[in-house]
């Protein structure tokens, strides 16, 4: 891996030179003080750039790009049962590979270098993420109501957890309480414990979720039910978590659960209003996710940040809640921590995942860079995307992007009859 030298980049109100080597920020020094001291140093003139941490999308279903825009403006239950599940059942492994690559292209363009995925045909998503150079937590999805035989999942974990320990890692992903028996949920908890890997689950997304639980919750809330089965720990990343009681919040706090907030999806499906205040007040770690492209309908984490911040302010009546800086941390560092990556900060020794923003864009003309990044910009201001010390996009160009787009369109047109 060659070294990168970022010259005179804007970092927290100062101009800095940054040396990136071995996938981490090696040296950060005043501008004009670092020079290329070894061969194969790739130097970037960053006089018109600001550096910020890259996004960690902690809840998505990448291959849903294949069914984007096919079922909008319908209730969640109808959306899932009439439109999404029947179509997903027809998706082939190759469809998932092509759609995942297409999704990752969109993620890179909008500044995301990590995604936590939960879907079928996981080996195809792994292949796509490996080829595209991003990081990912690939969920091994359990939903024994839809796929009763869970032994293959258990075997896959046993054979592959140790194989995926770096850029790509595995997680246990029980889909939800309405798609899993208690037995299957318990098995997920055991796998997460045994392999010390994250457990990624949809939780309390809609009102009355417990009524749809496969096995009776015996009057417990979805949070209490999962806790009773041993699924909640500091390895758990629970997506949505819209409907919670005080008791639920106590449990989430005690167990150290991370909550992946998905404001756009919650609003679009009218699942409910996520109120960030009690989570923030209790110190529950929040991260951000886009959810899939058929309930968002894009994978743009910058947009998600703005929605999260504005929604938090509106629901709480507190305009200081989820400030630009805090929201950026939620969308980057918190997500990285939840999945065990030492990333999300531009500091020496941290993983070199970063974005270079074009400060010539009109939204950066005056005011604070981070405020403008969260509230005023759009993802077109991202000039360069760096993941693991490698450049994935420079001057908005991603190698092979045209081929990936062409392949996606061709496959979609070929498979239209199947979907």
Q: Which residues bind to Zn ion, rule: CB under 5 A?
A: 291
- List 135's β-bridge partners, or say none: 114
Q: How far apart are CA 300 and CA 359, in angstroms?
A: 20
List, in order, residues 6 or more apart from 315 with CB less than 8 Å away.
273, 274, 275, 276, 277
Neighbouring CB atoms inside 10 A of 8's CB total 18
Query: What is the rounded CA–CA span in Å between residue 358 and residue 364?
Result: 8
Residue closest to Zn ion, measured at CB: 291
Q: Shortest approach of Zn ion to residue 408 CB, angstroms? A: 21
Write out the two tokens for 125. 């998503």
Closer Cβ to Zn ion, 135 or 200, answer by number: 200
65/358 with CB nearer Zn ion: 65
* 399: its two tokens: 């190698």
Cβ atoms within 10 Å of 29's Cβ, excluding its own = 12
- The gap from C-alpha 368 to its chain's centroid, in whole angstroms, comes to 26
Nearest-approach distance from CB 263 to Zn ion, in angstroms: 13
Q: Which is nearer to Zn ion, 76 or 346 (CB)?
A: 76
Instruction: Say how far residue 348 (Cα) sits from the centre of its chain.
Output: 24
CB of 292 to Zn ion, least distance (A): 6
Closest CA to 68 of 311, 268, 204, 206: 268
Report d(CA 305, CA 312) in Å as an integer: 11
Shortest reach from residue 139's CB to Zn ion, in Å: 10
Q: How far is the CB of 11 from Zn ion (least distance, A)?
A: 34
Minimum gap (Å) between residue 239 Cβ and Zn ion = 6
Task: Please identify, using beta-carbon distances, which residue of 116 and 251 lies nearer to Zn ion.
Answer: 116
Q: Is the Cβ of residue 146 or residue 361 nearer to Zn ion in the bound state?
A: 146
Q: Which one, 58 or 153, has the nearer CB to Zn ion?
A: 58
């Amino acid at each position: 891996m060659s070294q990168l030298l970022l010259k005179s980049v804007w970092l927290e109100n100062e101009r800095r030179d940054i040396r990136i080597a071995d996938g981490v920020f090696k040296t950060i020094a005043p501008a004009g003080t670092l020079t290329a001291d070894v061969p194969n140093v790739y130097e970037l003139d960053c006089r018109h750039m600001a550096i910020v941490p890259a996004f960690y999308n902690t809840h998505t279903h990448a291959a849903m790009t294949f069914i984007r825009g096919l079922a909008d403006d319908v209730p969640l239950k109808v959306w899932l049962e009439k439109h999404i599940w029947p179509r997903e059942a027809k998706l082939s492994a190759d469809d998932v590979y092509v759609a995942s690559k297409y999704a990752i292209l969109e993620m890179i363009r909008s500044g995301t270098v990590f995604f936590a995925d939960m879907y079928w045909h996981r080996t195809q998503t792994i292949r796509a993420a490996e080829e595209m150079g991003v990081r990912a937590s690939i969920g091994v999805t359990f939903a024994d109501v839809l796929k009763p035989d869970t032994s293959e999942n258990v075997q896959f974990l046993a054979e592959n957890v140790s194989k995926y320990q770096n850029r790509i890692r595995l997680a246990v992903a029980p889909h939800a309480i309405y798609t899993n028996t208690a037995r299957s949920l318990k098995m997920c908890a055991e796998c997460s414990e045994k392999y010390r890997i994250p457990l990624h689950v949809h939780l309390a997304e809609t009102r009355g979720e417990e009524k749809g639980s496969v096995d009776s919750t015996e009057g417990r809330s979805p949070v209490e039910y999962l806790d009773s089965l041993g699924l909640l720990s500091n390895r758990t990343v629970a997506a949505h978590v819209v409907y919670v009681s005080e008791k639920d919040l106590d449990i989430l706090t005690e167990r150290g659960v991370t909550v992946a907030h998905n404001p756009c999806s919650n609003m679009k499906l009218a699942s409910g209003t996520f109120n960030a205040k009690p989570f923030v007040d209790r110190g529950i770690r929040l991260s951000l996710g886009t959810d899939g492209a058929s309930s968002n309908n894009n994978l743009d984490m910058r947009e998600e940040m703005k929605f999260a911040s504005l929604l938090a302010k509106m629901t709480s009546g507190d305009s200081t809640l989820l400030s630009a800086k805090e929201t950026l941390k939620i969308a980057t560092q918190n997500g990285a921590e939840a999945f065990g990556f030492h990333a999300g900060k531009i500091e020496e020794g941290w993983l070199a995942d970063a974005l270079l923003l074009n400060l010539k864009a009109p939204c950066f003309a005056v005011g604070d860079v981070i405020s403008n990044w969260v509230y005023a910009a759009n993802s077109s201001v991202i000039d360069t995307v760096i993941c693991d010390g490698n450049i994935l996009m420079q001057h908005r160009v991603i190698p092979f992007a045209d081929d990936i787009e062409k392949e996606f369109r061709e496959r979609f047109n070929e498979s239209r009859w199947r979907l």
